[in-house]
Structure 1
Amino acid sequence: MPRYALKIEYNGAPFSGWQRQKEHPSVQQAVEEALQKLDRSVTGIAAAGRTDTGVHATGQVAHVDMAATWEPFRLAEALIYHLKPNPVAIVNAAEVDEEFHARFSAIERRYLFRLISRRAPMTFDKGTVWHVRHELDADAMQEGANFLLGRHDFTTFRSTICQAPSPLRTLDELRVERIELQDATEFRFHVRARAFLHNQVRSFVGTLERVGAGSWQPEDVAAALEAKDRAACGPVCPPHGLYLAEVKYPQDPFKGMRGGEPIDHEGTEA
C-alpha cells in the first residue's frame, strides 16, 4: 500500500485538539473522514504532534496508507475539497517509503507562540494571538528563557496529566522576538526541540510573560526549573496563540514539492 505524507495547516478554534475523540470534533477526525471519502480502506492516520484544544498548526505532518496510488497534487486537491468547510488545509503532499513515520521519524519540532501587547481589544487577530494590555520587556523575557535552554528535568513546566514516562527534555531554542506594529507590539516566542511535554510551551510562555511584566525576575525562572515542582510554574497561557510551525525529518519528504507538485531546480513545475 503506498504511503503519503501530508503537511497540514489548521485553525484549532473549533476543535478539541488534534487527536480523535468520541464526543468532540478533532482535526484528526476531519482529515480521516475526508480521506475515507477517497479510500474506504483508510482506518487512521498518524501525526507528528498531538496539539491541544484551540492550538493551531501551520506545519503539522501526518502520514496515511492508501489502497490506490495517487499523484500527490491530486490527493492534496481532493482532500482540500472534502475538508470544506473545516478550517483545515492540506498545503503539501508527497509519496514516501513505508519506513517513514510522521511521529517517530521526526528529529525536530518547532512551535511559534504569538503574543500582542496593546490597549485596544483584538479584532482581526482575535483567537489567533494572546492579547495582553500591558507592556512587556523582551530583554528580560529572553534572559529568563536562557535558563531553560539545554537538557533539564522539566517537571515544573509540564502538565500534571502529562503521560510522558520522563520529564527530561532537551530544549534547543527559546527565542523571544519583538516586532513593532503600528499601534501594538507583537512578541513571538520561537521554541525548538526534538520532543515536548504536555503544556510545556504554554507553561514557558505564561511564565516568561510574568517576567516581561515585571512580576517575576529572570532568575525566578531558574529557581522554578530547579524546584521540579508544577506548583512553582507561572500561569499557563491560553492555547490560541500557539502554532505547531514545523516538523523536521532526516530527509524532507516535501523537498522539491510545491503544493504537492514536483518542481525542477529552476523552480518551474516538472
Structure 2
Amino acid sequence: MNKNFKLIIEYDGTHFFGWQKQKDKKTVQGEIEKALTRILNQKVKISGSGRTDAGVHAFGQVANFYADTNILPQKLKKGINSLIKDPVVIRECCVVEDKFHARYNAVSKEYRYVILNREDPCVIGRLYQWHIRSPLDLKAMKQCCQIILGKLDFKSFESTGSPRSSSIREVFFSDINPLEGDRIEFKICASGFLKYMVRNLMGTIVLAGLNKISVNEFVEILEARDRTKAGATAPAHGLFLKKVNYS
C-alpha cells in the first residue's frame, strides 16, 4: 500500500553541498534517498520544505516521500539513522495524509543565525557561528530587526537565481539577543525566504551593528530594492533552519 511519510531531519551542513540532490556531490537529500532506496528496495524521491545552501545547518528540516511498504515509521526511522554515517539524523518519521507536501503546505519557516562577538576566535563551535571581532551595537541591530517586520519587498536582500515569482515576503518575527559566551542570536520567522535572504539580511544588519551604516540607511537599503546597496552575504556556517510550520 502506497503511504505518504513525513520526516523531520536534523543535520550538520558543514561537509554537504546543501540540501538539494546534485549529481556527483554529497547532499542531504541525496544521502537520505540512498538509504531509503536500500531499505525499501524501491526508488524513492523525497521532497523537502525548501533548499538550504552548502554549509547551512538544520534542526528541523521537513520532507515527505511516498513508498509502497508495510514497514512501521519507527522502524524506518531507525533504519535510515543506522545507514547514514554522515551527520544527519531523522528525528521524527510518521505517516501523514496523501495530500501533505513538505514544501507546498508550509505556512512559515524559522531561522536562527549565531554570531560570536569577541576579539578571540574559538575552536569548539567555530563551524556554527560567525566570528566578528569588533563590538556590535545591539540596539541598532534590534532596530533593524523591527524595520523588516510585516509584508515587504526584500529584493535588496535577494541573490541572483532565486526561484520566485515575487520578492515580497511577510516577516512575522525578527529579533536579535545576546546569548551566553559572547554570542548573539538573530531569529527570524517568515512566510518564505528568497535565496540567501537571511544571510544577506544578517550581513547588512551587522553593518548597522558596526556603525558603518545608520538605521535610516538600513531603511533606504530596504526601500531601494537593489541588492548592490546591501551588505555582503554572511557566512553559511552561522545559519540554522530551526523549524518549518504547517497549518
Q: Tell me the residue number matched to 1:139.
A: 139
Does the aligned pair in 2 maintain the 1:160–1:230 contact within 8 Å?
no
Shift in Å, 1:243: 0.5
The alpha carbon displacement at 1:71 in A equals 1.8
**2:216: which partner in 1?**
219
RMSD value over aligned CA atoms? 1.0
1:186 counterpart residue number = 183
The yes-or-no answer on 1:149 pairing with 2:146 is: no
Q: Which residue identity lines up with residue 82 of structure 1 in the other structure?
A: L
Who is 2:232 aligned against?
235
Task: Verify: 1:101 aligned to 2:105, yes or no.
Answer: no
Which residue among 200, 205, 227 is the counterpart of 1:203? 200
Distance, in Å, in 1 between the alignment partners of 2:80 and 2:180 is 38
Amino acid at match of 1:229: D
CA distance in structure 2 between the partners assigned to 1:42 and 1:16 by the alignment: 22
Equivalent position SS for 2:145: helix
2:187 alignment partner AA: H
CA-CA distance at 1:4 after TM superposition: 0.8
Residue deviations 1:82-116 (CA, integer Å, cap 9, x gap) = 111x0100011111110111111111110011111
**Identical-pair percentage:** 34
Structure 1 residue runs of 5 or longer lacking an equivalent are 251-270
Alignment-derived partner of residue 246 in structure 2: 249
Match of 1:256 in 2: none
Q: Which runs of 5+ in 2 are unaligned?
A: none
Q: Deviations over 1:110-138 (max 9, x none)?
A: 00111111222221101111111111111
Conserved in 1, the CA contact under 8 Å of 2:37 and 2:43? yes
SS in structure 2 at match of 1:127: helix
The alignment of Structure 1 onto Structure 2 pairs a total of residues equal to 246
Contact 1:4 1:64 in 2 (8 A): yes
TM-score by length of 1: 0.89
SS at match of 2:106: coil
**Residues in 2 aligned to 1:23 and 1:119: alpha-carbon distance in whole angstroms:** 39
3-state DSSP class of the match of 2:162?
A: coil
In structure 1, how many angstroms separate the alpha carbons of the residues matched to 2:101 and 2:152?
27
